[in-house]
Structure 1
Amino acid sequence: MSRRVAPVLAATIAILAAVLPGAASAADPSGDPFYRTAPPPAKLPGKAHGDLIRQRRLTGAAVVPGAAQTKVIIYRSTDVHGDVVPVSGVVSIPKGKRPKAGWPVITWAHGTTGIADQCAPSRDVAGSSAHPYNAYIYPLLTTWLKAGYAVVRTDYQGLGTLYEHEYLVGVTEGHSVLDMVRAARQAAPRQLSTDIAIAGHSQGGHAALFAAAEAPKYTPELHLAGTVAFAPASHLDEQIPLTTGITQPNAGLTALVAIIGEGLAAAYGDAGMSLTAFDPATVLTPDGIQLTNEAASQCLPELGAAATKLGLTPAAMFKPGVDFTQLRRLLDANDPSHLAIRTPLLIEQGTADQTVIPLFTDQLATELKDDGATKITYNKVAGVDHAGITAGAGGADATKYLKKLLKP
């Protein structure tokens, strides 16, 4: 990729999430025993991935308006290495008379909120810094509920529950998205159909693509009608090395680098895995390591503030003369451009997006077609930014698309 892109990055990949105003942080709810599960070698309840562990009624800011019933659940899933992990998520049941075969399901993958437990959508609290990052999508999800779809939302592995969140590790995220449907069907017996669609935004667009690729073999009993990916993250292996040229303060991008480092360390930090082991200390400065450590306990706004307090720029995160070989290899291994997706796919991208650069989504759509995605539709919406792609024309297009594929 040409270095001409570097000056643009400060304004374009600030965070892989809806750029929304923050607020004062609420108390961390991580002490809630509902979310706690015994660590290995203790065995999680259930036998198969997607088995329900526990459930309870959900109230408060984490509830999408328009649902007849909302539950938070804990369920079994598997990570990129095949290890069993607990995951949390939210099940929202529509109002009205249930279809004979059950409500068709849209499994939603959310955008970046952070990697600390309190940033998880199911733990959302009104007034918290993460609340705008969770609630911006509610109007679209409410539209889908009113249209007769059950909406289920994973928090992703390690975000809300035990273990660290494997941020932007595609297979782990995809499994969380698919197992959310399996677990929801156990939490709401006879209420949910096996007919599903996948949708997600930003980080969640990345997760949705991996879920679509994994679905045929991972959850073969589910009938995947199609997938919608709003502004999916891609090509970070090309973008992250260019941040070493950004010497001006950019709190959002600096925080993102920290989250990526911590997420890769969570997935690939085992020193015994010689081919894939990743230690952030090999590429990051001491201040950069400090910020990655703080990522485990702070949502995006606080982490950006911490970057500012430390005086960190994106360039200052990395050691001088850093070798990006291993980091790029891991980012490329989790890039959706390599996926084989054979089911219908819609990608929605705003031309004014300054978070997920349209240039890279153009490239992604072309590469997916080259990989055999013959049922792909790529829709670019003029003048729409990152958060706006899920509303207005982008959201309306996605709703029409889903209605054609998945009959409510």
Structure 2
Amino acid sequence: MIASSARSLLAASLAAVLFAPSALADSCAAPASVGPDGLDFYKPPSTLPDGEHGSLIWYRPYDDGSAAIAGGTNTLLLYTQVGIHGDTVATSGYMIVPDGDAPAGGWPVVTWAHGTTGIADPCAPTINDPASDDASRVLLTGWVSKGYAVVRTDYEGLGTPGDHPYLIGPSEARAVLDVVRAARQYDPRLGSRVVIAGHSQGGHAALWAASMAAGYTPELDVLATIAFAPANSLENEVSLLGIIGNTTAVSGTVALIVRGISVANASFDATSLLTPDALAHYPDTLTECSVYLDSNLSFGSVAANDILVAGASITDISAQLKDNDPKYLTTIPMPVLVLQGTSDATVFSFTTDAMVKNLLASGIDIVEQVYPGETHQGVLSAGYANATAYLDGAFNTLRNGEWVPSN
């Protein structure tokens, strides 16, 4: 006879083997393991998985992070994506699976792209989620409570090796899509039906992910895209810095934009374009997060019309920003909802209006919901009901002749 304690130990061991996420993973992928504690989690092994992009490297419970969402099981993920230079890189993110049993067809998935936090490693939301992101936590908590699994990427280079290519569309898109692959490898209860959503930089990322999904992750059935105040028309905004005047409201973001271009293109020499005041704070972009960059200790002390030297040629900046501007996307095969506040001082409502008109002219199924008087952050709360109704409608739709409910 086996002693009671021994039987319990044997049963626990069998359960760990049979029901561990790696055991349930796609048989084509190498089994993932539990990752290390602390910041070591973000340091990938010297050899990354040989499988497809979106391969899970390792995972661990995520119950001690400020970004964790209530109402489900939070899990931190490290996974692969195609990086900005075409190589395979490790990217971090996390997933929230609702409590209870998955519906037929698996949990419907929302992949959420976060707004600007910075470029430095400590700015990854899973490491240091900013208080300014409270509105998106409320939004996502509500979606989890309705029965949607949520996955969130930190983006390439945020927390993980390499610099984050800020507002470089293809890099963001791959991060947003590959975290879904990694999450489904970890937990096969996640279905293939997906809605892409995001705010600010994340709205920019969501639109790019929508345009690339069919070719990059063809197994995913992306039903719709929701973009809150998506960054757009940046090439026009940079050219208006002199007209904007002595305001410092956008200075930190402009510094990140310049750094992002230099990360994507090593031949771009930003130092020749920056004034001495801006140049003195430029190293902050690699060590500090947006809150600090926007403060008087950094770019919050540099006026918009004192970032670039007088007469500086911005041809290279404008060309690269245009290449990464969602305004000029020509193919988004699924419906898109854009939500924009009229008092947004970060993403201007008139540029978003122009972007929507441009995408409509390209034949994209896009609608814009405008919120009078709402700010860049305020649009998340103001647009919650409309975005949620749109989300519900996307998952409650007729597909292949069958009515597919969201839960």
TM-score w.r.t. structure 2 length? Answer: 0.84
Is the alpha carbon distance of 1:113 and 1:192 closer, same or farther for their aligned partners in structure 2, counting shifts above 3 Å?
same
Pick aligned residue for 2:107 from 103, 108, 116: 103
Match in the other structure for 1:390: 380
Percent identity reads: 39
Q: What per-residue deviation string (whole Å, max 9, x for no partner) do you get for residues 161-183 of structure 1?
A: 11000000001001100001000
Secondary structure of 1:48's aligned partner: coil
Provide, for residues 96-145 of structure 1, a one-character-per-residue CA deviation record: whole Å limited to 9, x for no partner: 22113210100000001111111111112xxxxx5213333111101100
DSSP 3-state at the match of 1:321: coil
Flag the 1:34–1:221 CA change in 2: closer, same or farther, 3 A.
same
Q: Does 1:303 align with 2:310?
A: no
Query: Is 1:361 paired with 2:359?
Result: no
Give the alignment of 1:69-218 within 5 angstroms: 69-124=73-128, 131-188=130-187, 190-218=188-216
1:53 is the counterpart of 2:57: yes
Kept after mapping to 2: 8 A contact 1:249/1:314: yes
- Residue number among 279, 292, 296 corresponding to 1:289 in the alignment: 279
Q: Which residue of 1 aligns with 2:255?
A: 258
- On the 8 A contact 2:284/2:298 being kept in 1, the answer is no
TM-fit CA distance, 1:160: 1.1
Partner Cα distance (2:353, 2:304) in 1: 25
Structure 1, unpaired ranges of 5+:
1-29, 125-129, 270-276
* Residue type of the alignment partner of 1:354: A
Write out per-residue CA displacement over residues 326-350 of structure 1, whole angstroms, 9 at most, x where no aligned residue.
0100000000011121211111111
Q: 1:316 to 1:45 in 2, by over 3 A?
A: same
Partner deviation per Cα, 1:250-272 (whole Å, 9 max, x = no partner):
1x421111111111111111xxx
C-alpha contact (below 8 Å) 2:293/2:300 kept by paired residues:
no
* 1:377-403 CA-partner distances (Å, limit 9, x unpaired): 2111222221111113x1110100111
Moved more, 375-384 or 231-240: 375-384
* Structure 1 position 67, deviation (Å): 3.1
SS in structure 2 of the partner of residue 66 of structure 1: coil
The 8 Å contact of residues 93 and 145 in structure 1, kept in 2 or not, is answered as yes
Give the letter for the 1:347 counterpart.
V
CA–CA separation in structure 1 for the residues paired with 2:299 and 2:218: 49
Alpha-carbon distance in structure 1 between the residues aligned to 2:227 and 2:102: 27
- Counting only pairs closer than 5 Å after superposition, residues 293-332 of structure 1 correspond to structure 2 as 293-305=283-295, 311-332=301-322
Distance 1:166 1:145, change over 3 A: same
Higher-RCO chain (CA-CA 8 Å, sequence separation at least 6): 1
Q: Please state how far the C-alpha of 1:31 moved relative to its aligned partner.
A: 7.5
Partner of 2:184, secondary structure, is helix
Q: Deviations over 1:234-255 (max 9, x none)?
A: 00101112113444251x4211
Residue by residue over 1:51-103, the C-alpha shift from the partner in whole angstroms, topping out at 9 and shown as x without a partner, is 00111001234344333211111110013442212110011010122113210
Shift in CA distance, 268/307, structure 1 to aligned 2, threshold 3 Å: farther
For 2:148 and 2:101, how far apart are their aligned partners in 1? 12
Judge which range, 50-59 or 350-359, deviates more: 350-359
Aligned 8 A contact 2:252 2:294 in 1: yes
Instruction: Write the mapping of 1:217-256 to structure 2, written as runs, cut at 5 A.
Output: 217-250=215-248, 252-256=249-253
* Shift in Å, 1:294: 1.0
Distance 1:400 1:309 in 2: 39
Aligned residues: CA RMSD = 1.9
Identify the residue that residue 272 of structure 1 maps to in structure 2: none
The code of the aligned residue for 2:40 comes to: P
CA separation of 1:307/1:191 partners in 2, compared to 1, >3 Å: closer, same or farther?
Answer: same
CA 1:310–1:255 in structure 2 vs 1: closer, same or farther (change >3 Å)? closer
Q: Distance in 1 between matches of 2:38 and 2:296?
A: 23
Q: Is the 8 A contact 2:67 2:125 kept in 1?
A: no
Asked whether the equivalents of residues 252 and 300 of structure 2 are also in contact (C-alpha less than 8 Å), the reply is: no
* Structure 1 residues 337 and 156, CA gap change in structure 2 (3 angstroms): same
Change (3 A) 1:246 1:385: closer
Does 2:327 align with 1:337? Answer: yes
1:233 is displaced (CA, Å) by: 0.6
The count of aligned residue pairs is: 360
The alignment status of 1:402 with 2:406, answered yes or no, reads no
CA contact (8 A) 1:350 1:386 kept: yes
In structure 2, list runs of 5 or more residues that go unmatched: 1-36, 396-405
Q: Counterpart of 1:385 in 2: which secondary structure?
A: coil
Q: Secondary structure at 1:352's aligned position in 2?
A: coil
Q: Does the CA-based 8 Å contact 2:294-2:300 persist in structure 1?
A: no
Residue pair 2:91, 2:154 contacting (<8 A) in 1 also: yes
TM-score (norm 1): 0.84
Q: CA deviation at 1:282?
A: 2.8
Q: Is the 8 A contact 2:281 2:298 kept in 1?
A: no
